[in-house]
Amino acid sequence: MRQSERELLTRGAGEIGVALSPAQCGELLQLVDELELANSQFNLTAIRDRTGMLRKHLLDSLSLQPYLRGARIADVGTGAGFPGLPLAIVNPERRFALIEATGKKARFVAQTAQRLSCGNVEVVHARAETYRPLELFDTVTARALASLADFVAYAGHLCVPGGRLLAMKGKRPEEEISALPKSFRVLAVHRLKIPGLDEERHLVELCAARPKSSKT
């Protein structure tokens, strides 16, 4: 069982351009162990089967890897730790702030990060719109969090000038893109292919629009 999970995870990660070390693969599987145990006690995620967790949580999260920029990453509304925890495991040189307003989820993520010895993770129990970090972030991610307009309203202030906001979506969100405020612009919409999943996945890459320079 464990070996087949290792093979599924290693092969799937390889297909999306992430080379997992045996240690990283072990930590990712331990994350699934922790999630499975917590789910039996209180509802953290609707996905209950381990194969579903491997594909819909771990591989789905790792699909962001090619689009991360810089050394400081924030994950807004991280929930049970996705995509933040898997990305922190495979990027030990980067710092991650995992932001979650729901107490039981924030506690689970903090305990799990500690058990996995993820020293590069800080869990922030707060609403993103009220969080004021001492340092801003190079990349801000969110998975299945409200609309794009809400995302930039809640989290736009967390990004450094020229930084990226990455919104994970299912189908290409044309209406949400049209409804974005003019203070933000879409740089690209990437079609994501998650190994073993037929469901549509898209990543919307955003940044703050540059203010027009006033002529003197």
CATH number at residue 22: 3.40.50.150
φ/ψ of 159, rounded to 5, equals -95, 140
Assigned domain for 185 exists: yes
**What per-residue confidence (pLDDT) applies to 163?**
97
Assigned domain for 213 exists: no
**What per-residue confidence (pLDDT) applies to 88?**
98
Assigned domain for 87 exists: yes
End-to-end CA distance of the chain: 69
Which CA distances in Å does 205 have to 13, 34, 35, 49, 89? Answer: 21, 31, 29, 31, 22
Closest CA to 31 of 16, 12, 50, 8: 50
**What per-residue confidence (pLDDT) applies to 131?**
98
pTM: 0.95
Domain span at 110: 2-208
Assigned domain for 178 exists: yes
Closest CA to 122 of 103, 100, 96, 104: 96
Task: Domain count for the chain, please give it.
Answer: 1
Regions of the chain with pLDDT less than 70? 211-216
**What per-residue confidence (pLDDT) applies to 211?**
66
Exposed, middle or buried: residue 4 (CB in 10 Å: 0-12, 13-18, 19+)? exposed
Strands 184-192 and 137-143: unpaired
Assigned domain for 84 exists: yes
Assigned domain for 99 exists: yes
Assigned domain for 153 exists: yes
**What per-residue confidence (pLDDT) applies to 215?**
47
DSSP states along 76-132:
ET-TTTTTHHHHHHH-TTSEEEEEE-SHHHHHHHHHHHHHTT-TTEEEEES-GGG--
Assigned domain for 215 exists: no
**What per-residue confidence (pLDDT) applies to 212?**
54
Closest CA to 33 of 4, 2, 8, 7: 2
